Amino acid sequence: MSVPESCRGLRGKLIVSCQAVAGDAFYGPDLMARFALAAVAGGAAGIRANGPEDIRAIRQVTAVPIIGIQKSVHPDGRILITGSFESAHALVEAGASMIALDCTARGQRYGAFDRVRRIREELGVPVLADIATMDEALASADAGADMVLPTLRGYTPDTEEVTAFDPRFIEELVGRLGVPVIAEGRIVSPAQAREAIAAGAFAVVVGTAITRPKDITGWFATAVEHEFRCQTRETYFVGVDLGGTNTKFGVVSSTGTLVFDSFVPTPAGGGREALLDNVKRAIREARRRAAELGIAIEAAGIATAGWVDARTGRIAYATGNLPGWTGTPVAEEVSADCGLPVAVENDANALAAAEKRFGAAREWTDFVCITLGTGVGSGCYVGGALHRGAHFFANALGHMVLIPDGIPCNCGQRGCLEVYCNAAALVRYAGGEFPSAADAIAAANAGDANAAAAIRTLGGHLAQGCAALVQLLDPQGIVLSGGLAMNNPQLLAAVSERLPPLVSVWDRRGLSLVSSGLGYFGGVLGAAALACDRWR
């Protein structure tokens, strides 16, 4: 890869873009020169600046390379970067070491590639192409641009969905271009600047985050005021818990008060549209009830069966219990319907989030919330954050093999913990004497010895699973949640008794084992907690 002589000193370095718009408190060549001086003193190896006046002033205070640009309004009413050869000429005369110009599709329509050639040939300086897409980058390199900068990504019609720095695009550019790539565009932290270099960038340009005190102040002011509002004002969220049987939903305050709750049957076999419609209707109903109470809703959270890519709110995988649900972009679809920010999360993870924000785990950074019902699931917090795994499939406690070659599980394996610790297992341990797990629990609470023995059997198996979790994660606590843990003190007692002998150095762990106090709408509380996180 050939690098022009005048650019070599920029390799692996920071370039600071010193620009101000008319009306800004720092507008003017003298002030830009002072910014440049501070930037160079701080370690910048180059400056990017707009217009001959600023460049002339900057050139008087520093000898570092200057990337010159000239912003001007063009016949289509929009600003174009260095839209004429004459402006490039004036920049070089003022002291610019190289010229950047708009080489997006629009820039090309205004003759960008002719200017690339003319500036190189007639002015004898390197030319840098400001682009937004891969096609524009490739065409610019073909047209002779010495370097490529994705400066305009996010600012053209076909990239307007890009709103943040994307190191993957830098990596793609570096992978496909034969010329150096300088990272530029929405890099607002040292961590992002590092990522750009890690992605293979030749150098990194940072502007606003260094030279726009008004914008930087705005970031801080917004953060401070937003947090103060969160602290001092009760805010409200809709939580929806989409289960295989029922869809529970409600309105939850930021302090965990369930203001309203309800449930409807889940159209589990109805396919994607029916499931989405069900969730949308639940949110509308919750908002209608909130409005009646004079409550504004800030965001909605959805806890759902299946594994979820929580970053995008898409269902990574759902079992046959919810046909058609796999791949559904739930957050996008529901947010478009209700106009609120929407968080989506796996239901067991949501229960853990509810414990973390409103329940037993408020003071813990590392804990596991085990959900016991028709199935067995778990949500784990590790180091204060919800642990999801590389493919969002983590925490499948129910499918850890407990008994080799044991009872077949609906996951296809045999001997999974789930089939020894779920509601059906409890009914089975009681010899079929009780029609449901809830009946067995009620009988045990009333003193029935058979039911109590069945709970102890289940507790023994569950203790085995907990022991593996404790050895793996060393949590501060385990919360037993779900229908089987509700009103079931004998289960908690059985696990508490059976677990310690199965764990090494138990005495030094100080592990708390508790039952959830969040009740039937724990999933709704968890969904709302995640909505609150998303909103904040």
State the minimum distance, in angstroms, from the CB of residue 476 to Zn ion.
28
Distance CA 255, CA 138 (A): 53
Provide the 8-state DSSP code for 206.
E
In the stretch 312-331, what mask flags binding to Zn ion with x, by CB under 5 A? Answer: --------------------
Taking the least distance from each CB to Zn ion, the nearer of 302 and 409 is 409
The neighbouring-strand residues paired with 219 are none
- Single out the residue of 416, 462, 479, 530 in contact with Zn ion (rule: CB under 5 A): 416
511 touches Zn ion by CB under 5 A: no
409 touches Zn ion by CB under 5 A: yes
State the minimum distance, in angstroms, from the CB of residue 414 to Zn ion.
8
Taking the least distance from each CB to Zn ion, the nearer of 406 and 500 is 406
Taking the least distance from each CB to Zn ion, the nearer of 98 and 423 is 423
Distance CA 120, CA 2 (A): 15
Helix, strand, coil % over all residues of the chain, rounded to 5: 45, 20, 35
Taking the least distance from each CB to Zn ion, the nearer of 315 and 409 is 409
CB contact at 8 A, 181 and 146: no
Secondary structure of 119-173 in HEC code, one letter for each residue: HHHHHCCCEEEECCCHHHHHHHHHCCCCEEECCCCCCCHHHCCCCCCCHHHHHHH
Distance CA 525, CA 261 (A): 10
Taking the least distance from each CB to Zn ion, the nearer of 203 and 469 is 469
Taking the least distance from each CB to Zn ion, the nearer of 73 and 401 is 401
Distance CA 494, CA 453 (A): 10
Taking the least distance from each CB to Zn ion, the nearer of 56 and 399 is 399
Q: Which of residues 107-146 bind Zn ion (CB under 5 A)?
A: none
In the stretch 380-399, what mask flags binding to Zn ion with x, by CB under 5 A? Answer: -------------------x
Contacts of 273 (CB under 8 A, 6+ apart): none
Largest CA distance in the chain: 97
State the minimum distance, in angstroms, from the CB of residue 419 to Zn ion.
7
State the minimum distance, in angstroms, from the CB of residue 376 to Zn ion.
9
56 touches Zn ion by CB under 5 A: no
Taking the least distance from each CB to Zn ion, the nearer of 104 and 371 is 371
Stretch that binds Zn ion, among 47-55, 99-107, 157-165, 404-412 (CB under 5 A): 404-412
What does the block give as tokens for 385?
């954050």
Taking the least distance from each CB to Zn ion, the nearer of 403 and 411 is 411
State the minimum distance, in angstroms, from the CB of residue 105 to Zn ion.
53
Burial profile 349-366: b = 16 or more Cβ within 10 angstroms, e = fewer:
bbbbbbbbbbbbbeebeb
Taking the least distance from each CB to Zn ion, the nearer of 319 and 326 is 319
Stretch that binds Zn ion, among 33-41, 142-150, 339-347, 416-424 (CB under 5 A): 416-424
196 touches Zn ion by CB under 5 A: no
CB contact at 8 A, 213 and 26: yes
What does the block give as tokens for 437?
């797990």
State the minimum distance, in angstroms, from the CB of residue 483 to Zn ion.
19
Stretch that binds Zn ion, among 114-122, 162-170, 403-411, 448-456 (CB under 5 A): 403-411
**Total residues in contact with Zn ion, by rule CB under 5 A:** 5
Distance CA 300, CA 337 (A): 12
CB contact at 8 A, 386 and 370: no
Q: Which helix (H) or strand (E) holds 14?
A: strand 13-18
State the minimum distance, in angstroms, from the CB of residue 397 to Zn ion.
10
411 touches Zn ion by CB under 5 A: yes
State the minimum distance, in angstroms, from the CB of residue 396 to Zn ion.
8
Residue type, 268: A
Distance CA 444, CA 431 (A): 14
Residues that bind Zn ion in the complex, under the rule CB under 5 A: 399, 409, 411, 413, 416
